[in-house]
């Protein structure tokens, strides 16, 4: 019972499911028992909206709920834990979270954005990176902490209007992905495709799907820009940490990067 | 933090994911926080193959691993727990499991097969039920315990050759659903479609997808026989027990029964 993977999901719930599915899809397995022991906590009522907190519309720091979830996972045996939400990685949330979970001995937190940045630096070697994300992620500037100018990166964001449109594609109660993910509405898909075209036109060499809902709505096209899914990259990193011999080759299933 | 749903998954892993997805899909929610707090334990290495045990090819009773998973869920706060595997509901596995978890005070085990039988009796009111399942489920006769002749049911099973074919559609390492679920192979789909046609021809009025992998490969057709997914029905039952006001109407998303 060593090396169990833990996922703090529920932020949102489908993103957590997608994260665990990525772990299964990227594991070499021909029978149930080959799969890696994993736990998913999907307790959305414990974790206030991350974007609302970063924009000042929500007082409670989501970090506290995330710590409660981490404790549930830790008590149940998880030792490698990731949070299936981009916006939660903003310093104002992730730093206190990380400090508070230091009390759990032997727990390794695998940071999704750091994992994505390491991948771009070591494997993809491109510099002009377009970012699709929720307003909270743009406002917090969280991706700028990981893709720094000093390291030669240009992080490209959509125009203000483009950012509003993407936020609606995620959050709108009538057509947004959080409310309607099975299937994703055409309006949400169209907004995202337009944002991708605009960023490509401005010279982006790769695109980050910087919100865990986006991979549900955007699929890579042959010859199109590489689409980086930080959740997928982190799922693969968790496999590498717990059972490296079981990691499938890149590109076999669902990996948009290569 | 009351009424948390717990899922013993990993048997197999995709079936556990499908179970939690059914909970999300059948919950009235327009934002993350509306979703029901849920935990998924996917620890396949703890639970030997259920069919192999029932056929005598595996000595260890999967019940013990299931109890370990139930304890992980219980310790983390889950109080309504289901096992996302049909074969695990055979008396030789489920009865000792149920006895052992009685030590967990306040824990309610929601039996997937019982839930399915109650649904057929109270809502569907048909009597000739076709069963698609793995060999272990047929051999154990587990569905006969719930759909009894004495209550007017005729439980219809495929021929021996048909049962072998369905088992291969689930387990075969080259084309079976357990090894290849994204996407499911055409060969597996064809086998299942032929089995459905044969049971319909013999007069089945409804079909049970009696293995948690099958809903990944079979979709209801308009005017075709009702396809009962015990996992879906149980997901809805868990919502009804924990947050009845959040249960969507039948047939809105993914429900094949009506």
B10 touches chain A (CB under 8 A): yes
- Name the band, by pLDDT with cuts 50, 70 and 90, for residue B65: very high
Q: Is residue B172 part of a domain?
A: yes
Shared domain check, B168 and B127: yes
B84 pLDDT higher than 50: yes
Give the pLDDT of residue B255: 41
Shared domain check, A106 and A127: no
**B42 neighbourhood in chain A, CB within 8 Å:** 20, 35, 37-40
A229 pLDDT higher than 80: yes
Lowest pLDDT segment from A104-108, B161-165, B208-212:
B208-212
Contact A21 B17 (CB under 8 A): yes
Give the pLDDT of residue B223: 76
- Name the band, by pLDDT with cuts 50, 70 and 90, for residue B251: low
Shared domain check, A183 and A241: no
B125 touches chain A (CB under 8 A): no
Shared domain check, B40 and B102: yes
Mean pLDDT of A101-119: 95
pLDDT in tens, B206-250: 999 998 889 889 987 777 888 999 999 999 999 999 999 999 987
ipTM of predicted assembly, 2 dp = 0.88
Shared domain check, B118 and B52: no
Of B12, B17, B76, which is closest to A75 when you measure between CB atoms?
A: B76
User: Distance, in angstroms, between B4 CA and closest chain A CA?
Assistant: 8
Q: Is residue B78 part of a domain?
A: yes
pLDDT in tens, A21-33: 999 999 999 899 9
Burial of A149 (0-12, 13-18, 19+ CB in 10 A): exposed
Contact A72 B77 (CB under 8 A): yes
Quick one: CA torsion of B71, B65, B36, B210, rounded to 10 degrees?
A: -150
Shared domain check, B226 and B117: yes
pLDDT in tens, A157-195: 999 999 999 999 999 999 999 888 778 999 999 999 999
Give the pLDDT of residue A1: 56
Q: Is residue B128 part of a domain?
A: yes
Do residues A211 and A86 lie in contact, with contact meaning Cβ atoms separated by under 8 Å?
yes
Give the pLDDT of residue A240: 96
Give the pLDDT of residue B10: 95
Q: Is residue B257 part of a domain?
A: no
A103 pLDDT higher than 60: yes
Do residues B16 and B42 lie in contact, with contact meaning Cβ atoms separated by under 8 Å?
yes
| Closest residue by Cα to residue A45 from A65, A17, A25 | A65
Q: Across-strand partners of B74?
A: none
Shared domain check, A245 and A168: no
Mean pLDDT of A60-86: 96
Give the pLDDT of residue A254: 37
Burial of A189 (0-12, 13-18, 19+ CB in 10 A): middle
| Closest residue by Cα to residue B45 from A107, A4, A9, A235 | A4
- Name the band, by pLDDT with cuts 50, 70 and 90, for residue A252: very low
Query: Which entry of A69, A116, A211, A255 is annotated as an active-site residue?
Result: A211
Which range of residues forms the domain containing residue B186? 113-230
Q: Is residue A258 part of a domain?
A: no
Q: B138 to each of B6, B128, B135, how far by Cα in Å?
A: 27, 16, 5
Do residues B76 and A76 lie in contact, with contact meaning Cβ atoms separated by under 8 Å?
yes
A17 touches chain B (CB under 8 A): yes
Other CB atoms within 10 Å distance of the CB of residue B203: 10
In whole angstroms, what is the distance from residue A5 CA to residue B142 CA? 33
In whole angstroms, what is the distance from residue B89 CA to residue A228 CA? 41
pLDDT in tens, A208-224: 999 888 988 998 777 78
Give the pLDDT of residue A110: 98
| Number of residues that make up chain B | 258
Provide, rounded to the nearest whole percent, the portion of chain B with pLDDT above 90: 74
| Closest residue by Cα to residue B19 from B28, B7, B29, B27 | B7
In whole angstroms, what is the distance from residue A40 CA to residue A25 CA? 16
Residue labelled with tokens 């510099």: A127
Q: Is residue B258 part of a domain?
A: no
Mean pLDDT of B183-191: 94
Shared domain check, B226 and B122: yes
> How far is C-alpha A117 from the chain's CA centre?
12
Q: Is residue B101 part of a domain?
A: yes
Give the pLDDT of residue B216: 82
Average of per-residue pLDDT values in chain A: 91
Contact A32 B42 (CB under 8 A): no
Shared domain check, A193 and A88: no
Q: In what order do the strands lie in the sheet with B4-9?
A: A108-109, A78-83, A4-9, A38-42, B38-42, B4-9, B78-83, B108-109
User: Distance, in angstroms, between B79 CA and closest chain A CA?
Assistant: 14
Mean pLDDT of B68-83: 96
Mean pLDDT of B113-120: 93
- Name the band, by pLDDT with cuts 50, 70 and 90, for residue A55: confident
What CATH number does residue A63 fall under? 3.40.50.1860
Give the pLDDT of residue B1: 56
In whole angstroms, what is the distance from residue B199 CA to residue A225 CA? 48
Task: Specify the pTM.
Answer: 0.89
Residue B247: both structure tokens together:
């249960």
Contact A13 B1 (CB under 8 A): no
Shared domain check, B156 and B81: no
- Name the band, by pLDDT with cuts 50, 70 and 90, for residue A257: very low
User: Rounded to 5 degrees, what are φ and ψ at B173?
Assistant: -75, -20
Residue labelled with tokens 């970090």: A63
A256 pLDDT higher than 80: no
Lowest pLDDT segment from A193-202, B63-72, B222-231:
B222-231
- Name the band, by pLDDT with cuts 50, 70 and 90, for residue B200: very high
Of A75, A173, A182, which is closest to B25 when you measure between CB atoms?
A: A182
Shared domain check, A182 and A85: no
Do residues A217 and A152 lie in contact, with contact meaning Cβ atoms separated by under 8 Å?
no
Give the pLDDT of residue B114: 94
End-to-end alpha-carbon separation of chain A, Å? 33
Q: Is residue B100 part of a domain?
A: yes
In whole angstroms, what is the distance from residue B20 CA to residue B235 CA? 7
Give the pLDDT of residue B211: 87
Neighbouring residues of A186: CB distance < 8 A, sequence distance ≥ 6: none
Give the pLDDT of residue A255: 41
Other CB atoms within 10 Å distance of the CB of residue A85: 31
Interface mutation target, options A76, A79, A134, A168, chain B, most CBs of B under 10 Å: A76
The count of domains in chain B is 2
| Closest residue by Cα to residue B36 from B6, B67, B75, B68 | B6
Task: Give me the DSSP letters along B191-250.
Answer: HHHHHHHHHHHTT-SEEEE-STTGGGT----TTS--EE-HHHHHHHHHHHHH-GGGBPPT
Shared domain check, A120 and A222: yes
Question: When comparing pLDDT for A77 and B2, which is higher?
Answer: A77
Interface of A with B in 43-102 (CB under 8 A): 43-49, 72-73, 75-77
A223 three-state secondary structure: coil
């Amino acid at each position: 019972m060593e090396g169990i993977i833990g996922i703090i999901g529920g932020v949102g719930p489908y993103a957590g499911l997608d994260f665990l599915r990525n772990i299964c899809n990227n594991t070499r397995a021909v029978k149930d028992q080959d799969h890696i022991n994993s736990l998913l906590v999907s307790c959305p009522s414990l974790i206030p909206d991350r974007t609302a907190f970063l924009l000042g519309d929500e007082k409670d720091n989501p970090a506290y709920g995330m710590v409660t979830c981490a404790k549930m996972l830790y008590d149940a045996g998880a030792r490698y834990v990731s949070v299936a939400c981009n916006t939660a990685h903003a310093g104002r949330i992730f730093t206190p979270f990380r400090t508070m979970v230091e009390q759990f001995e032997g727990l390794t937190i695998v940071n999704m954005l750091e994992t994505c940045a390491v991948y771009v630096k070591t494997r993809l070697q491109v510099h002009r990176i377009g970012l699709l994300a929720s307003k909270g992620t743009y406002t917090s500037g969280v991706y700028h902490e990981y893709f720094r100018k000093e390291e030669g990166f240009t992080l490209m964001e959509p125009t203000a209007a483009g950012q509003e449109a993407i936020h609606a594609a995620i959050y709108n109660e009538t057509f947004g992905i959080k409310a309607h993910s099975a299937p994703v509405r055409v309006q949400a898909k169209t907004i995202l495709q337009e944002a991708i075209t605009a960023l490509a036109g401005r010279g982006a060499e790769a695109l980050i799907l910087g919100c865990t809902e986006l991979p549900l709505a955007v699929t890579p096209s042959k010859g199109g820009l590489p689409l980086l899914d930080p959740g997928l990259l982190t799922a693969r990193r968790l496999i590498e940490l717990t059972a490296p011999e079981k990691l499938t080759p890149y590109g076999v299933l669902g990996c948009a990067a290569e």
